[in-house]
Amino acid sequence: MSEPRTKGQPLCDALRSNPRINAASIDGNVLSTILNAKVDWLFRKQQELPLDSFKDTLKKSERSFYDALTSDRTVFILECKKASPSKGLIRPVFDPVEIASVYRKYASAISVLADEPFFQGRYEYIADVSAAVDVPVLCKDFIFDPYQVYLARHNRADAVLLMLSVLTDEAYTELRDLAHSLGMGVLTEASHEDEIARAIKLNARIVGINNRNLRTLTVDLNQVRTLSALVPDDRVIISESGIYTHDEVLNLRHYADGFLVGSSLTSEPDIERACRRLIYGENKVCGITRVEDAVASDEAGILYNGLIFAEKS
């Protein structure tokens, strides 16, 4: 087993005493390390951009995250990710707008990493992506303070991630209700049975099942197979982490309504081809003789075309 790049550390006193933080759940694992850094980041950000300077200018989102992910077909949340604690730097040359311009053809929603120290993200990336696409944009951050929800909407996010491993029930309810008041949806993340039970009790509409162990950063796709059985049929299940192949999508689509995918796409030089391979598989159309058929095949997501150049073939 490879060692995680980011080690767990004790939770800082500011978070240990914060009533919003589910301290017992995260103390000593990778999340505590990330959140410790988030405390310093949050202080600096609030000094740089006080809430009073933009709160009154906020308008409600008009792109429904919930509607976008409610479908009879498998849905995809495709993620703009530059780096991660488990893999380090994933995409050295990172242009979130360029990436999102590809994703918008395939995604029901687009996720943008906003954490700076560990994922090399920025909240400003959310605004850039939101301006370039017409699908809902999810702010992917480790949110525990209302300021982060306001900041997400300030940067035109249409949804936020709330992690039950991080938040108490009271904090989750507070932040969810704030997001809803701003027209934003919520992706509620759970990673074990107790958190699934909490998500159901808290009426989470979209439940993200994280296949990653937050202590070791290893991935087990059996997580979604096991935990999905505990989720009522009227909730949307999103499988998070560890999805790399079309076969995995096919094998897990009976357990999840959709997939959040990032690293396996942004690690590829050709993101367009990576999206097609993930969503449609390794497919080929043979016998192409006309330009319009080749164009139609390309637009349909076909990876390979068999062209015939001989006349009357």
Cα(34)–Cα(276) distance, rounded to whole angstroms?
Answer: 33
pLDDT, position 1 = 34
Cα(43)–Cα(279) distance, rounded to whole angstroms?
Answer: 41
Once rounded to an integer, what is the mean pLDDT over residues 129-136?
98
Once rounded to an integer, what is the mean pLDDT over residues 108-123?
97
* Topology at the third CATH level for domain 51-274: TIM Barrel (3.20.20)
pLDDT, position 302 = 54
| Confidence at 51, pLDDT banded by 50, 70, 90 | very high
Residue 71 has pLDDT above 80, yes or no: yes
Residue 175, H or E segment: helix 169-181
pLDDT, position 146 = 99
| Contact predicate 190/164, CB 8 Å | yes
| Contact predicate 105/132, CB 8 Å | no
Residue 275 CB contacts under 8 Å (≥ 6 apart), including other chains: 78, 102, 103, 105, 106, 265
Q: Six-digit token pair at 281? A: 């598989």
Percent of the chain at pLDDT > 90 equals 83
Distances (CA, A) of 137 to 83, 108, 199, 252, 291: 19, 9, 22, 24, 35
pLDDT (tens digit, 9 = 90+) per residue, 249-258?
A: 999 999 999 9
Instruction: List the single range of 19-33, 54-68, 109-123 with lowest mean pLDDT.
Output: 19-33
pLDDT, position 289 = 57
Residue 216 has pLDDT above 80, yes or no: no
Residue 61 CB contacts under 8 Å (≥ 6 apart), including other chains: 136, 153, 156, 157, 158, 159, 182, 183, 184
Cα(219)–Cα(222) distance, rounded to whole angstroms?
Answer: 9
Q: Report the b/e string of 157-174 with b at 16+ CB within 10 A.
A: bbbbbbbbbbbbeebbee
Q: How many CB atoms lie within 10 A of CB 122?
A: 17
List the chain domain ranges. 51-274, 283-313
pLDDT (tens digit, 9 = 90+) per residue, 138-152?
A: 999 999 999 999 999
Distances (CA, A) of 114 to 137, 236, 309: 12, 24, 49
What are residue 110's DSSP bridge partners?
Answer: 78, 137
Once rounded to an integer, what is the mean pLDDT over residues 80-107?
95
| Contact predicate 272/254, CB 8 Å | no
pLDDT (tens digit, 9 = 90+) per residue, 251-280?
A: 999 999 999 999 999 999 999 999 999 999
